[in-house]
Amino acid sequence: MSNQPPDQHSVRRIVLPSGRKIDVIRFTDDVDEELSGLDVCPECECQLVQPTSWAQAGPSQWHLALYCPNCQWTGGGNFDQGRVERFEDTLENGVQDILRDLKQLTYANMTAEIERFVEALRSDLILPEDF
């Protein structure tokens, strides 16, 4: 349990690319820069920030150039290995969400196409000379 008073929190609902909705509860308005994810845009707070380039900047440091496709913010800097690894995990989860959505969309499109074909066959709209 948090030891902060319950009236010092805010709830923000986020819609993920997969359509799932999650509530993010913050117990303070002060965003700890070191703890916030690199996927969160500092301008518009959307969670779509992407790396546009990266290079190792030290034994456990990486330099990242970042871009927000929602508001076109660009930024970057040097970040520690752990933070970059968490960002990488977030990006990988996003890729998995997109692939799952693509699979569902492909299935829905194929189902609709088959249903149209079956309806055309039942209505005698497809004849042997069509082949």
Interface contacts to Zn ion, rule CB under 5 A: 41, 43-44, 68, 70-71, 73
Cβ atoms 43, 71 nearer than 8 A:
yes
**Least distance to Zn ion, CB of residue 47, Å:** 10
Cβ atoms 61, 90 nearer than 8 A:
no
For the chain, what is the radius of gyration of the CA atoms? 23
- How many helices (H) and strands (E) would you count in the chain? 1, 5
Would you say 38 or 41 has its CB closer to Zn ion? 41
**Least distance to Zn ion, CB of residue 42, Å:** 8
Q: How far separated are the first and last CA of the chain, in Å rounded?
A: 69
**Least distance to Zn ion, CB of residue 73, Å:** 4
DSSP β-bridge partners for residue 66: 51, 75
Would you say 61 or 65 has its CB closer to Zn ion? 65
Would you say 66 or 84 has its CB closer to Zn ion? 66
Relative to beta strand 10-15, strand 61-67 is unpaired
**Least distance to Zn ion, CB of residue 75, Å:** 10
